[in-house]
Amino acid sequence: MKRLEVCGLHCGYGDKPLLRDVSFSLAPGEALSIVGANGTGKSTLLATLSGALHPLSGEIWLGGERLERVPARVRAQRMTLLLQQQPLDPGIRVRELVALGRTPWWRGLRGMSPADWEQVDAAIEMCDLVALADRPVGAISGGERQRARLAMVVAQNTGLILLDEPTNHLDVAHRFMLHRVVENLRTARQTTVISVLHALEDARRYAPRMLYLHGGTATCYEQSDYERLREHIVAAADVPPEWVY
Amino acid sequence: MKRPARWFWLLAGAVLLCAYAATALGQHAGQVVWEWDWPRKLFTPDGDPALARIIGLLRLPRVLGAILIGAALAPAGLVLQSVSRNPLADPFLLGISGGAALGVVVANALGASGGGMGLWFIPAVAFLGAQGATILVLSIARGPGQRVSLLGLVLGGVVINAFCSAIIVLLLTQFEPLKLRITTAWLAGGLGYLTWSQLAVGAVGVLVALVVLGFRSREINAFALGEEGARLVGVNASRVLYEVTWAASVLAGLAVSLGGLIGYIGLIVPHLVLMMSRRNFLPNLWLSALLGALVLLVADTLARTLLSPQEIPVGVLTALVGTPALLVLLRREMRR
């Protein structure tokens, strides 16, 4: 069974579609990168896929069920989104933040089980945050905060992860770490990953398929079509080829 | 020492001890006296019946009223601070208490009193006033990205407080002298007129609101991620916000209908609780209820004995201590 199926999706704000007729499907362990210029609807598409924005038309199927029919808690057990920007309580500590990723798995008022804490600590270690686990998120850098939010997404342990510009604020070492974490989730947990990325090289590295958004439409490119996609972007942006990488 | 369970028992013991001591504290001929054997005097029919009445009808209701109001105001502040991610959220500063006070004064103007129908009518109208003010201030303060802004919250509170004060003063000008004296004494934070029936109604409401909040603790914790972030971890954010504002309005409305405008308990106590415990709403809810009860009990006891035989309104005392604390918090937040 496909983990995510998108059929004839029109999405946007108000009644004017920003993107028309988007269709694709992803199986467990598959990955897709979404690329496109500013304002082409990358974040709008992710917001629609996450359920924050209602589709103007078309269907989204999550784990064999229509997305709008999946209850909020079950949806959060199957899918999560790493937002580009997120207002966080500055006083919350990194470990407490990561533990919030286990919220959809709580049962009644019993709170976190030892198994939940094990997942939290594993996510903290995976995202290189052991030394920062007791620090308030208001007292760490933007990149460290991004890693803490990634660790929360990892601890949530969903079958589908949506990442909106996940490499923002990250230095080269932690961009490599992020790539390693995503690959690990895909292979070990069969997690399906959709990432919105600005850098074309990153997009190719993160997924064998790339969804290029341009002029209100979405076109799928395989890794073998990389050069052809690059030429499209160069032509659309009207910049020298060496600026597109 | 961030061990909430230990603090819970410590605070519970302190509330019991202080309640016993505060009930023992009385006045005779302008002098402060301790009557440590007050349970014997209260329950022995052949003792001093006048003293038994003073203890049973004045002192005990007042002590229990301070405990109840403190246990309502501090959790109301805690929950508002938690869902708005704003350390300055407090029912008094946000105008919620002002809205409740307006409700009570309107009910008084319509002829309601503390007994009979007024026993339910006054807290209900106070709740409606508090609920109206809560919805208004949160809608004013909500900026881009659903973030409840510090400035919007404080300014919204100023606007609502100014409006409610103006209407209250307008209504008070129409009151007869005795009613005016009683209402103004209550407005400044006066626990001297409480009855057992009022306390029973208040206790039921406060308990229901605290239990509702306790059942929503998991969801309230997730608000540290913002509304959108809470939704992503499976929380129905709009439903929880509705329930939480309802519970905060019940707490603030009941506190005001019982004890008038008592500020800063909801602001300061949640910050003190964070020194005892991590950011986990459920233990912090009970800690804030206990600490709020303790702080208001001590404040009210000081208010009735510091300048004996005169009484200081307890709202004035909490404001005198709370204002410098607010300035410190405001300065810290503005530097962030």
Looking up residue B284, the CATH number of its domain turns out to be: 1.10.3470.10
Per-residue confidence (pLDDT) for residue B69, from 0 to 100: 96
Contacts of A96 in chain B (CB under 8 A): 224, 278-280
Measured torsion, CA atoms of residues A223, A224, A226, A229, in degrees rounded to the nearest 10: -100
> Quick check: A137 and A147 in contact, CB under 8 A?
no
State percent of chain B over pLDDT 90: 43
Per-residue confidence (pLDDT) for residue A109, from 0 to 100: 67
**A211 beta partners:** A34, A220
Per-residue confidence (pLDDT) for residue B146, from 0 to 100: 57
| Among the partner residues B85, B229, B280, nearest to A83 by beta-carbon distance | B229
Q: Which residues contact A87 (CB under 8 A, 6 or more apart)?
A: B85, B145, B147, B226, B229
Contacts of B145 in chain A (CB under 8 A): 85, 87
CA angle A28, A33, A38 (to 5 degrees): 145
| Among the partner residues A50, A88, A138, nearest to B232 by beta-carbon distance | A50
Q: What would the pLDDT profile of B173-186 be if each residue is shown by its tens digit?
A: 999 898 898 888 88
Backbone angles phi, psi at A6, to 5 degrees: -120, 120
In this prediction, residues A95-116 reach a mean pLDDT of 87
| A86 close to B (CB below 8 A) | yes
Whether B130 has a pLDDT exceeding 60, the answer reads yes
Highest mean pLDDT among A11-20, A34-43, A73-82: A73-82
In this prediction, residues A2-17 reach a mean pLDDT of 88
Backbone angles phi, psi at B13, to 5 degrees: -65, -40
Contacts of A109 in chain B (CB under 8 A): 214-215, 217-218, 282
Taking the CB of residue B239, how many other CB atoms lie within 10 A of it?
A: 12
Contacts of B222 in chain A (CB under 8 A): 100, 103
The amino acid that residue B165 corresponds to is: S
- How many whole angstroms separate alpha carbon A106 and alpha carbon A116? 9
Cβ contact B222–A90 (<8 Å)? no
Whether A148 has a pLDDT exceeding 90, the answer reads yes
Backbone angles phi, psi at B208, to 5 degrees: -60, -45
State percent of chain A over pLDDT 90: 45
Query: Mean pLDDT, chain B, as a whole number?
Result: 87
Whether B20 has a pLDDT exceeding 80, the answer reads yes
Per-residue confidence (pLDDT) for residue A218, from 0 to 100: 87
Per-residue confidence (pLDDT) for residue A179, from 0 to 100: 85
Contacts of B279 in chain A (CB under 8 A): 89, 91-93, 96
- How many whole angstroms separate alpha carbon B289 and alpha carbon B276? 13
Cβ contact A101–B279 (<8 Å)? no
- What is the tally of structural domains in chain B? 1
Q: What would the pLDDT profile of B209-226 be if each residue is shown by its tens digit?
A: 999 999 999 899 999 898
Whether B61 has a pLDDT exceeding 80, the answer reads yes
0.95 surpassed by complex ipTM: no
A84-116: burial string, b at 16+ Cβ within 10 Å, e else: eebbbbbbbbbbbbbbbbbbbbbeeeeebeeeb
Where does the pLDDT of residue A134 fall: very low under 50, low under 70, confident under 90, or very high at 90 and above? Answer: very high
Per-residue confidence (pLDDT) for residue A138, from 0 to 100: 87
Cβ contact B215–A109 (<8 Å)? yes
Per-residue confidence (pLDDT) for residue A1, from 0 to 100: 63
Whether A7 has a pLDDT exceeding 90, the answer reads yes
- How many whole angstroms separate alpha carbon B156 and alpha carbon B176? 32
Where does the pLDDT of residue B4 fall: very low under 50, low under 70, confident under 90, or very high at 90 and above? Answer: confident
> Going by DSSP bridges, is the β-strand pair A57-62/A65-66 parallel, antiparallel, or unpaired?
antiparallel
| Among the partner residues A73, A74, A87, nearest to B226 by beta-carbon distance | A87
User: Domain residues for B118?
Assistant: 3-335
Q: How far is A85 from chain B (nearest CA, A)?
A: 10
| A48 close to B (CB below 8 A) | no
In this prediction, residues A28-53 reach a mean pLDDT of 89
Q: What would the pLDDT profile of A174-203 be if each residue is shown by its tens digit?
A: 888 888 888 888 998 999 999 998 877 777
Query: Taking CB atoms and an 8 Å cut-off, how many pairs form between chains A and B?
Result: 80
- How many whole angstroms separate alpha carbon B126 and alpha carbon B62? 20
Whether B122 has a pLDDT exceeding 90, the answer reads no
- How many whole angstroms separate alpha carbon B71 and alpha carbon B63? 12
- How many whole angstroms separate alpha carbon A143 and alpha carbon A167? 9
Using alpha carbons, list the distances in angstroms from residue A194 to A2, A24, A71, A202, A215. 14, 12, 22, 13, 21
Where does the pLDDT of residue B114 fall: very low under 50, low under 70, confident under 90, or very high at 90 and above? Answer: low
- How many whole angstroms separate alpha carbon B90 and alpha carbon B87? 8
Cβ contact B221–A76 (<8 Å)? no
**B63 beta partners:** none
Where does the pLDDT of residue B150 fall: very low under 50, low under 70, confident under 90, or very high at 90 and above? Answer: low
| A113 close to B (CB below 8 A) | no
Q: How far is A232 from chain B (nearest CA, A)?
A: 34
- How many whole angstroms separate alpha carbon B206 and alpha carbon B200? 10
Where does the pLDDT of residue A124 fall: very low under 50, low under 70, confident under 90, or very high at 90 and above? Answer: very high
Using alpha carbons, list the distances in angstroms from residue A160 to A106, A186, B237. 19, 10, 21
Highest mean pLDDT among B29-38, B198-207, B273-282: B198-207
Token pair 């798995």 is at which residue? Answer: A105
Whether B116 has a pLDDT exceeding 80, the answer reads no
Where does the pLDDT of residue B48 fall: very low under 50, low under 70, confident under 90, or very high at 90 and above? Answer: confident
- How many whole angstroms separate alpha carbon B115 and alpha carbon A152? 53
- How many whole angstroms separate alpha carbon B23 and alpha carbon B63? 7
Measured torsion, CA atoms of residues B105, B317, B14, B278, in degrees rounded to the nearest 10: 90
In this prediction, residues B97-105 reach a mean pLDDT of 93
Per-residue confidence (pLDDT) for residue A107, from 0 to 100: 77
Cβ contact B336–A90 (<8 Å)? yes
Whether B145 has a pLDDT exceeding 60, the answer reads no
Q: What would the pLDDT profile of B323-334 be if each residue is shown by its tens digit?
A: 888 888 878 777
